[in-house]
Structure 1
Amino acid sequence: MLAGLLTASFSLAETMADVSQLRSEIDRLEEQIQQLQKEQEQYKNNIFGAQAKAQTLQNQINSLNNQIKYLESQIKVTTVSINKTSVEINETQGDIQTAEQKIEAQKRTIGQTLLFLDRQDKEGLLVTLLKNDSMSDFFRQVQYANSLSEGLTDLVRELEGAKKELESEKNQLETKKEDLIVLKQRQASERAAVSGTKAETSNLLKATKGQEAEFQKMLTKSEELERQMNLEIFKLEDQLRKAIDPNSLPLARPGVLSAPVQGRISQGYGCLETRWARRYYPDCNNGKGGFHNGLDIAASYGTPLRAADDGTVIAIGNAPYAYGTWAAVEHSNGLVTAYTHMSIRSVSVGQQLRRGNVVGSMGSSGLSTGSHIHFMVYAPRTFTTKTSSISGVLPIGATLNPLDYLLI
């Protein structure tokens, strides 16, 4: 019995040594991630600084270059995170091996204990007494048998605990494997975002020939295209809003949806009576305001944008003169939420999401003056997409006030 336990102990010790080495590697990678994230904060500050300045060609180029640096840094973070997760998977596999060895050792110990106690029961006290040379040997063996019998319950309890531990480790392993898949998908999205931003920078330089006057002409043209785009969207969605069946709407209350990001609400939903709204959005309230079909929330560049509830990604697109990089998610209550102006889109059509899963990263793609999300909520059975002659694929639907459903 003792030999079996010693063999198991040596095996467990070797496994624990391997796990310790893996833990050291995980700690090293975690430190590397933290260092890279500190560097990213500087790029975020640079992006914010450039966006806050007047719209000049040089400032725009600086902003785009800082976005590229940030995205390239993010790729490094994701790469290290992939390595860290891979090591964690190895660590968890080591934990599983340790748990399995522990269970086998406990099973052997319990089996040997049961055999010994069974033999004692069959022999009886008289036989045991006759087999021993002295009364002290007899009492020692009886006492040993009694202690084994009393300890058997503890051994069985430990075995049950070890089995639960093993099940937990296996669940952790599956979670880590899923995390690894998500990280690899994110890395592909980040690389695509870098390529897109580099292309945008190159196209801007080609279109302006590096001249400020040409850039200002481009800005004027972009503003006019934005107004046309907003009017086109408004006309389509206004008809849908008027046709909403009130009975189809989920009960409006805070918490039906969670906020896609924590930040500052820079523009609300509906008829906004501001100079900006009157300039860029379709007329409302007899020309006193401009209609804004979503909720704008500002936060730093690269901040994760999260699904407002469980759902399925039903559409994605890119609208250069409107929403930029966007995605739409349909939820079980029929509502559809849209996430726009993203720097990175991390989801694909058909993907299942849980509340809080990352949809993408905060950005300023499309026509946007700073890092923010234009968050939209559509009534059930009204969402569709439209290919615009001005601005690519657009999300269209009967919009609702997001604040009717959000807990902010």
Structure 2
Amino acid sequence: MKKLISFILLLFLIVPVIAQAASLIDDLRSQIDQKEQEIKKLEAQAAAYKKELESAQGQKNTLKSQLALIQSRITKLRNDISITGAKIDNASLKIEELTLDIGEKQNEIDKRKDSLATMIQTLYEYDDESLIEMVLVKNSFSDFLNQVHYLETIQENVYKNLLAFQELKKELEGDRTEAEKQRSELYGLQNQLTGQKNVVEQEKNEKNYLLTKTKGQEKQYQSLLDDTLKKQAEIQQQIYELEDKLKLAYDPNSLPESRSGVLFWPLGGVLSQGYGYTAYSKKLYASGFHNGIDIASSYGEPIRAALNGTILAIGNCGKYAYGKWIAVKHENALTTLYAHLSGYGTYKVGDSVKTGDIIGYEGSTGYSTGAHLHFGVYVTQTFRVESMWYGMLPLGAHLDPMKYL
């Protein structure tokens, strides 16, 4: 009888979720739902800001329109910062929810372990008695049948609890994997927030620079613009001539096979200009040649590493050539260039990056007619960085990125 009472008590001890913890988890889920609704509203606003920015970008290049464009960028970027902040809050809530859930599942697993151990011990003790002994010690055949039924019930519950135990362990591992994923996402979002705030500050600095340099006068702005465009054209021709020589300095057999998927797209968006002699390049450059591809999405959008690698160089050509740029060296003899950035990620030269890591943000720095990413692919053995009067200039034997994307 004592064994039967112990068994019944054990069944009551196996409680799936403590009421208090369940209430906390429900509250967290409610907060997560609210955050997700907030993110949706902010993303809808982002779409509207993107349209406003595109409209401002299409205006005639005057001091007034340029200042308005910068302000539109700042407004859009601040909304992006709000989205990232909401995503950080959401990820934190999910981690908290998973932590509670993991604790509850671990408690339940521990209880089921104890319960299973006791049940198995009970079966083991009865297993020592032969069938004849069990019949003889009972007062009646009815008691014997009750005893047999009791043992069958224990065996059935051992089986059920074993299945539940295995399922709980599987769920626990799933929760731990998801929690690790959320922590990684949280870390990435925190870095992204830092990068986005830096881009806003740089836009403010650009606005102040324009006002100081032109003294708010349209005539001085147009003079500054003409001088910049003239120098930009000269620099582009110089880049073409330097890289044309480097194209002869590598072994084609050292390169990976040309096929889709060798590199991943660093930015989702529209391919606004291809590689080589394009309709745009014939108008923009004296050489008529474009040494990479252009991808346009939206100002301030995250730029991601196209493949695992190492940050080889980071530079800034100011208002010329590539503006702000980053080069990543890969183990397949290729180096990728990401240019016209509005800002950088948190990585430094020598740091390792993984495919998809945020290394910068879409911009329009350097010789650029609008927000986009200039993506270049170079033969690593020819890649070098030269110091010019306007900044550090990346050079090398370039390849068509579309052969590897």
**TM norm. shorter chain > 0.5:** yes
- Partner Cα separation in structure 2 for residue 128 and residue 116 of structure 1: 15
Give the direction of change, closer, same or farther, for the CA distance of 1:249–1:21 in structure 2 (3 Å limit): same
Q: Which moved more, 1:346-355 or 1:325-334?
A: 346-355
**1:55 aligned onto 2:54:** no
User: What SS class does the counterpart of residue 189 from structure 2 fall into?
Assistant: helix
Q: Amino acid of the residue matched to residue 358 of structure 2? A: V
Task: Tell me how far apart the structure 2 counterparts of residues 192 and 34 of structure 1 sit (CA, whole Å).
Answer: 24
For the 8 Å contact 2:311–2:329, the answer to whether it is kept is yes
The equivalent residue for 1:396 is 395
Name the SS for the 2:402 alignment partner.
Answer: helix
Match of 2:93 in 1: 87
8 Å CA contact 1:299, 1:372 repeated in 2: yes
Q: Deviations over 1:82-124 (max 9, x none)?
A: 1111111111111211210121121122111111111211233
Deviation by residue 1:53-84 (Cα, 9 ceiling, x = unmatched): 11111111111001111111212211121111
CA distance in 1, matches of 2:268, 2:24: 41
Q: Are 1:44 and 1:300, in contact at CA under 8 Å, matched by a contact in 2? A: yes
Q: Equivalent residue for 1:30? A: 36
Residue in 2 aligned with 1:353?
353
1:143-154 equivalences in 2 (<5 Å): 143-154=149-160
Q: Are residue 316 (structure 1) and residue 314 (structure 2) matched? A: yes
Counterpart for residue 337 of structure 1: 336
- Go from structure 1 to structure 2 and tell me whether the alpha carbon gap of 1:265 and 1:10 turns closer, same or farther (over 3 Å shift): closer
* Aligned residue number for residue 303 of structure 1: 301
Amino acid at match of 1:312: T
TM-superposed CA distance for 1:132, in Å, is 4.2
Counterparts in 2 of 1:80 and 1:125: CA distance versus 1, 3 Å: same
Contact 2:250/2:381 (CA < 8 Å) preserved in 1? Answer: no
Mapping of residues 268-307 of structure 1, within 5 Å: 268-272=274-278, 274=279, 277-278=281-282, 280-283=284-287, 290-307=288-305
Paired with 1:132 and 1:363, the residues of 2 have a C-alpha distance of 87
Say if 1:162 and 1:243 are closer, same or farther in 2 by CA, change over 3 A.
Answer: same
* Aligned residue identity for 2:163: R
Shift of 1:130: 4.8
Work out whether residues 12 and 101 of structure 1, in 8 Å CA contact, stay in contact via their aligned partners in 2: no
Question: How many residue pairs were aligned?
Answer: 397
Q: 1:250 Cα deviation (Å)? A: 1.2
Match of 1:156 in 2: 162
State the partner residue of 1:97. 103
Using the alignment, how far apart are the partners of 1:302 and 1:102 within structure 2?
47
| Residues 312-344 of structure 1, C-alpha deviations (whole Å, 9 max, x = no match) | 222222222122222222222121111112234
User: 8 Å contact 1:377–1:402 — kept in the other structure?
Assistant: yes
Which residue matches 1:14? 20
Greater alpha carbon shift after TM alignment, 314-323 vs 191-200: 314-323
Indicate the residue corresponding to 2:265 in structure 1: 259
Contact 2:344 2:360 in 1 (8 A): yes
> Is the Cα–Cα contact under 8 Å of residues 16 and 108 in structure 2 kept in the other structure?
no
> 2:3 maps to which residue?
none
SS in 1 for 2:382: coil
Hey, what does 2:4 align to over in structure 1? none
Alignment partner of 1:115: what SS? helix
* 1:187 maps to which of 166, 173, 193: 193
Distance in 1 separating the partners of 2:25 and 2:86 = 19
Distance 1:27 1:338 in 2: 39
Residues 67-86 of structure 1 correspond to what in structure 2 (within 5 A)?
A: 67-86=73-92
Q: What is the DSSP-based 3-state SS (H/G/I as helix, E as strand, rest coil) of the residue aligned with 1:291?
A: coil
The answer to which of 255-264 and 84-93 deviates more is 255-264
* Structure 2 length-normalised TM: 0.91
Whole-Å separation in 2 of the counterparts to 1:387 and 1:43: 38
Measured in 2, the distance between the counterparts of 1:160 and 1:351 equals: 42
Contact 2:347 / 2:359 at 8 angstroms: preserved in 1?
A: no
Q: What does the per-residue CA deviation read over 1:165-208, in whole Å, with 9 as the maximum and x for residues that have no partner?
A: 22222222222222221111111111111111100001101111
SS of structure 1 residue aligned to 2:328: strand
Task: Please give the root-mean-square deviation of Cα atoms over the aligned residues, in Å.
Answer: 2.1
Q: Structure 1 residues 261 and 378, CA, compared in 2 at 3 Å: closer, same or farther? A: same
Which residue does 1:328 correspond to in 2?
327
In the alignment, is residue 44 of structure 1 matched against residue 50 of structure 2? yes
Over residues 2-46 of structure 1, what are the superposed CA-to-partner deviations in whole Å (9 max), with x where a residue is unaligned?
434434527533322221111111111111111112222222111
**8 Å contact from structure 2 (residues 53, 73) kept in 1:** yes
Comparing 311-320 and 17-26, the one that deviates more: 311-320
Q: Deviations over 1:329-382 (max 9, x none)?
A: 222212111111223432413443333333333222223111211110001322
Give 1:224 shift.
Answer: 1.4
Supply the AA of the counterpart residue of 2:52. N
C-alpha distance in 2, partners of 1:71/1:216? Answer: 27
Distance in structure 1 (CA, Å) of the matches to 2:16 and 2:358:
44
CA pair 361-292 structure 1, distance change in 2 beyond 3 A: same
8 Å CA contact 1:96, 1:170 repeated in 2? yes
Deviates more, 1:251-260 or 1:91-100: 251-260
Give SS of 1:257's match: coil
Counterpart in the other structure of 1:286: none
Does the aligned pair in 1 maintain the 2:196–2:300 contact within 8 Å? Answer: no
